[in-house]
């Protein structure tokens, strides 16, 4: 499918992607950039790594597809660095969990040098690091691909084909719609669970004595890393705020139905909620 | 422990209570009242039923403890009927999931005739009816016992001892505090899950295509019966409304922290939520 691809930063996602690309023969050569020389040493021992370097230019040389697997706050800087040496219009994509800002800034940085197409594979694990990488991390998982109106159609088609070959289910959305969707289906539920937990911590600190599975399920994700979720909220702040505010209005309509003893409205909301949940 | 107890209405809870009382030798004689003559016929075949009748007076005759296991909207009427024939000051308790209204009205109905002590065993199942009854339904489950300032101390002690002998973990609270607790730890989480589901049903109807376990957990209880939850909300309306409104204020403080980029406050809320959830 590709002669050479480059993976930038071999963390859990990057290394898993290299393993999957190797296992599925998505690329003949897999080049990997790592920050530390020890990581390069270690990578060169791996059967799924053709070459490795701490020099970004060298690691990207001759690549048709460069996948930026660094943390979100590093992706734009990496694209700017790549713009200094890129030749032959390679495709550059990423794995960041928010898209609008990244897509617009990476496109601007790479214009005329490379084709940027944003990606967000919904894959991960509590574990991190190359040592936990595995080739089936992306198998049957959704991967958002987020073209803009400036995207090169051929680069977009090749990016989609890459993720499909890796085993992902590609969902194509605009960067803005992507950020709205993840705010609604992921960031909002997390913040609600966390807020319910902090509410009960003050109102009913003995809740553990008489809590059932309902409360355990509803608040489960509140156990996630505060630092990680702070970072996610920070990156998608406008959409997270919009989802929170829209939800607050929606919750107010339920509260009003209960306050006004609108039995029909309350029953309808409960039935609509059940119908939606039953199909998840 | 008791010579004779009476179970009023052999549904899932009532029949399970009779089985547990028999297995654990909590009472020598177990008398059961049922509305339908066919149910009485069937009860008389069971090893855990000493006598059964469709006549409430007859079923309660000579009992030291009468447990009302009928639906919440029938409990007060049953207490009023029992007041017409009760002699010897038996204890009357119930299994209703809301307490303030029931306790005050049953106490008033039975004053001078019987000692009413409210109970709420937090036990149940998706299944209903006597055919699904089992003796370990109450094992290691919390049972709220909710005395008021009018409660007879000896009747309270015997009610506590009854539930402990059945296998429950007794938690004693006032009726008002009980209703506040269940609004916070059970009714509020349910309504939030349901409201999140109805919100997503309109904003992101394709959520099923890219929803992860976080959303599945957070909304799981929204699959519960709308009719049942409508009834629960109806019975505990003032406390449910108070929990909803207090939570809305609390959620607003989280939203404000995000809007104002108050990173310290956001991190603190996420960390407090994690700490509470981790101990559930």
- CB-based contact, B209 to chain A, within 8 Å: yes
**What is the separation of C-alpha B133 from the centre of its chain, rounded to a whole number of angstroms?**
16
Q: Is the pLDDT of residue A126 over 70?
A: no
The ipTM is: 0.81
Classify A122 as helix, strand or coil: coil
Cα distances from A187 to residues A170, A254, B89, B104, in angstroms, run 21, 21, 57, 44
- Binning pLDDT at 50, 70 and 90, where does residue B73 land? confident
CB proximity A191 to B under 8 Å: yes
**Lowest-confidence pick of A150-159, B120-129, B211-220:** B120-129
What is d(CA A262, CA A270) in angstroms, rounded to the nearest whole number?
A: 12
Which helix (H) or strand (E) covers residue A104, if one does? helix A100-110
pTM of the model: 0.81
A73 has pLDDT over 90: no
Cβ–Cβ under 8 Å, residues B119 and B145 = yes
Q: Is B67 left (phi over 0), alpha (psi -120 to 50) or beta?
A: beta
pLDDT over 90 (residue B161) = yes
**pLDDT for A124 beyond 80:** no
Helix (H) or strand (E) segment spanning residue A188: helix A188-203
DSSP letter at B186? I
B189 pLDDT tier (thresholds 50, 70, 90) = very high
* pLDDT tens digit sequence for B135-152: 999 999 999 999 999 999
Could you tell me which residues come within 8 angstroms of residue B150 by beta carbon, excluding any fewer than 6 positions away?
B107
- The answer to whether A273 faces chain B, any CB pair under 8 Å, is yes
Cα–Cα distances (Å) from A123 to A9, A139, A141, B162, in that order, read 16, 9, 6, 52
Q: Provide, as residue numbers in chain A, all residues whose Cβ is less than 8 Å from the Cβ of B259.
A: 241
Chain A residues within 8 A of B230 when measuring between CB atoms: 263, 266-267, 270
Q: What is the pLDDT of residue B72?
A: 82
Strand, helix or coil at B168?
A: coil
3-state secondary structure of A113: coil
Model confidence at A127: pLDDT above 80: no
CA distance A91 to A24: 20
Instruction: Check whether A72 has a pLDDT greater than 90.
Output: no
Q: Which domains does chain B have, with CATH numbers?
A: 2-173 (3.40.50.720), 178-278 (1.10.3660.10)
**Is it the case that residue B126 has pLDDT exceeding 70?**
no
Min Cα–Cα distance to chain A from B203, Å: 8
Q: Mean pLDDT in chain A?
A: 94
Hey, are the CB atoms on B270 and A230 less than 8 Å from each other? yes
CB proximity A266 to B under 8 Å? yes
List chain A residues with CB under 8 Å of B231.
Answer: none
Gap between the Cα atoms of B8 and B33, Å rounded: 5
**pLDDT tens digits along B219-230:** 999 998 898 889
Predicted local confidence at residue B231, as pLDDT: 86
Taking the C-alpha atoms of residue A234 and residue A246, their distance in angstroms, rounded to an integer, is 19
The mean per-residue pLDDT over the stretch A71-92 comes to 94
pLDDT confidence of residue B214: 84
Give the C-alpha separation, A22 to A51, whole Å.
13
| Sequence-distant (≥ 6) Cβ neighbours of residue B20 within 8 angstroms | B26, B135, B136, B137, B138, B166, B167
Contacts of B125 (CB under 8 A, 6+ apart): B12, B132, B137
- Tell me the average pLDDT across B7-30: 96
pLDDT in tens, A236-275: 999 999 999 999 999 999 999 999 999 999 999 999 999 9
What pLDDT was estimated at residue A125? 63
> Comparing C-alpha atoms, which of A252, A234, A255, A229 is closest to residue B252?
A252
Mean pLDDT of chain B: 94
C-alpha angle A241-A246-A247 in degrees, rounded to nearest 5: 100
Instruction: Output the pLDDT for position A212.
Output: 74
Q: Which residues of B touch A195 (CB under 8 A)?
A: 247, 250-251, 254, 269, 273
């Amino acid at each position: 499918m590709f002669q050479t691809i480059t993976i930038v930063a071999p963390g859990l996602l990057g290394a898993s992607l290299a393993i999957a690309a190797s296992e599925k023969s998505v690329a003949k050569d897999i080049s990997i950039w790592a920050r530390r020389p020890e990581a390069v040493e270690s990578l060169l021992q791996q059967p799924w790594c053709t070459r490795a370097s701490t020099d970004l230019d060298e690691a990207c040389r001759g690549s048709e597809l460069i996948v930026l697997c660094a943390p979100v706050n590093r992706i734009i800087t990496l694209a700017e660095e790549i713009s200094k040496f890129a030749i032959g219009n390679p495709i550059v994509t990423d794995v960041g969990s928010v898209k609008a800002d990244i897509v617009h800034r990476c496109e601007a940085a790479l214009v005329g040098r490379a084709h940027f197409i944003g990606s967000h594979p919904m894959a991960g694990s509590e574990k991190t690091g190359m040592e936990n990488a595995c080739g089936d991390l992306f198998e049957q998982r959704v991967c958002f691909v987020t073209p803009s109106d400036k995207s090169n159609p051929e680069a977009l088609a090749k990016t989609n084909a890459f993720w499909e070959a890796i085993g992902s289910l590609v969902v194509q959305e605009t960067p803005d719609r992507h950020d709205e969707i993840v705010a609604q289906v992921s960031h909002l539920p997390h913040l609600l669970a966390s807020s319910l937990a902090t509410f009960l911590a003050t109102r009913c600190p003995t809740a553990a004595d008489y809590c059932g599975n309902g409360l355990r399920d509803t608040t489960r994700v509140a156990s996630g890393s505060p630092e990680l979720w702070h970072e996610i909220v920070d990156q998608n702040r406008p959409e997270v705020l919009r989802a929170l505010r829209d939800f607050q209005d929606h919750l107010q309509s339920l509260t009003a139905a209960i306050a006004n003893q609108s039995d029909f409205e309350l029953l309808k909301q409960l039935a609509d909620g059940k119908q939606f949940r039953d199909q998840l």
